[in-house]
Amino acid sequence: MKILSGTSNPKLSKDICKQLKLKLVNTNIKRFADGEIYVEINENIRGNSVFVIQSTSNPANDNLMELLLVIDALRRSSAKNITAVIPYFGYARQDRKVVPRTSISAKVVANLITNAGAGRVVTVDLHAGQIQGFFDMPVDNLFTTPLFAKYIKKNFKNKNLICVSPDVGGVQRTRGLATKIKADLAIIDKRRPKPGQSQVMNIIGNVKGKTCIIVDDIIDSGGTIVNAASALKKNGATDVYVFITHAVLSKDASEKIKKSKVKKLIITDTIDNSKKIKNNNKIQVLSISSLMAEAIKRISNSTSVSDLFN
């Protein structure tokens, strides 16, 4: 088994290798002056099972192209098995046609990864579970719910908790966390006048006097979470904590969170946000390196990955 890191999140790759007591594959990945990506593998990987760790976060297209070229280089170097470990799977929000004459980008990306030569995909909290069906190969979708539940049990003792879904689509994820921490469930009825904007209409459930735990897979511009936190506070919530797997944090999202009613935003390191959140004490990062390392080890040993979440 060998681990190869792309350039999107080298710290997470190093942390995973530390857990597995392995060294990263020696590679040379660079950009030419016109933006073209060059990939060179500087050691023999013939007959090895190789795990490529690369999030397709911002810049999404560059990081995706880099992943494809790394997979191709490994295939041409006679790697036995190639597993694409994609902590944050970009384009996952475009998983169906919501209006006529639009592309289903998640399917296009799945085709690209398949045709490049990957034999398996490992990812974390896919935006839509059905994306697994876009691949004609095994897909392991890891969940951060146990990680969040462990944090809440340790840090939120003796608090009257309620888990809040930021929209109807996230109810299943929120219910999963609520079950683990034995809390009630509330739902925010949200409308989107246009992409990137949200408007809170109603709150389904009683949040008065309770500590609200909002859980979601992605925070992008931050508008949804900021509006949700304000609405919950207006309805009598004591505090609002937010747990997010993938912190895209585009534009001024970090500053929005800093000025919002959110008490604390807890994110994971599927995306490297070290520069964006440097001066924001409202944001805390939980590492998923141990979860991903254990999943990689189990795949390599041909043992059950689903047992991680039982």
Per residue in 175-203, pLDDT tens?
999 999 999 999 998 766 565 556 666 88
pTM of the model: 0.93
Dihedrals phi, psi of 140, to nearest 5 degrees: -105, 110
pLDDT of residue 223: 87
Q: How far apart are CA 295 and CA 301, in angstroms?
A: 10
Q: Which band of pLDDT confidence, cut at 50, 70 and 90, is reported for residue 299?
A: very high
* Structural domains of the chain in order of their starting residue, each with its CATH number: 2-142+290-309 (3.40.50.2020), 145-286 (3.40.50.2020)
Asked if the model's pLDDT at residue 163 lies above 80, the reply is yes
Is 276 known to be catalytic?
A: no
Which of the 8 DSSP states describes residue 24? B
pLDDT at 194: 63
HSE value, Cβ hemisphere, 13 Å, CA-based, for 219: 31
> What share of the chain has pLDDT > 90, as a percent?
86
Band (pLDDT 50/70/90 cuts) for residue 268 is very high
Mean pLDDT of the 252-256 span: 92
- What pLDDT score does 240 carry? 96
The mean pLDDT value of the chain amounts to: 93
Q: What share of the chain is helix, strand, coil (3-state, %, to 5)?
A: 35, 25, 40
- In the chain, what's the furthest Cα-to-Cα distance? 61
Contact assessment for residue 200 and residue 231, using Cβ atoms and an 8 Å cutoff: yes
Query: What is the pLDDT, as a whole number, of residue 199?
Result: 65
Is residue 275 within 8 Å of 247, Cβ to Cβ?
no
Residues 6 or more apart whose Cβ sits within 8 Å of residue 93: 106, 127, 218
d(CA 8, CA 20): 20
What would the mean pLDDT of 271-283 be, rounded to a whole number? 92
Residue 33 pLDDT level (bands cut at 50, 70, 90): very high
Q: What is the arithmetic mean of pLDDT over 27-33?
A: 96
Question: Which tens digit of pLDDT belongs to each residue from 196-222?
Answer: 556 666 889 999 999 999 999 999 999
Q: Is the pLDDT of residue 97 over 70?
A: yes
C-alpha span between 85 and 292 (Å, rounded): 9
Q: Which of 226-230, 231-235, 305-309 has the lowest mean pLDDT?
A: 305-309
Residue 69: alpha-carbon gap to chain centroid: 22
Instruction: Write the burial class of residue 57 (CB in 10 Å: 0-12 exposed, 13-18 middle, 19+ buried).
Output: buried
DSSP bridge pairs for 239: 211
Is residue 270 predicted with pLDDT exceeding 90?
Answer: yes
Using only C-alpha atoms, the chain has a radius of gyration, in whole angstroms, of: 20
User: Cβ(257)–Cβ(266) under 8 Å?
Assistant: no
Residue 88 near residue 124 (C-beta atoms within 8 A)? yes
The reported pLDDT for the residue numbered 167 is 86
CA angle 140, 310, 287 (to 5 degrees): 60
- Catalytic residue among 97, 154, 159, 190, which? 190
Q: Is 26 within 8 Å of 3 (Cβ atoms)?
A: no
Contact 112, 98 (CB under 8 A): no
Residue 115 has pLDDT above 60, yes or no: yes
For residue 264, report the phi and psi dihedrals to the nearest 5 degrees. -155, 140
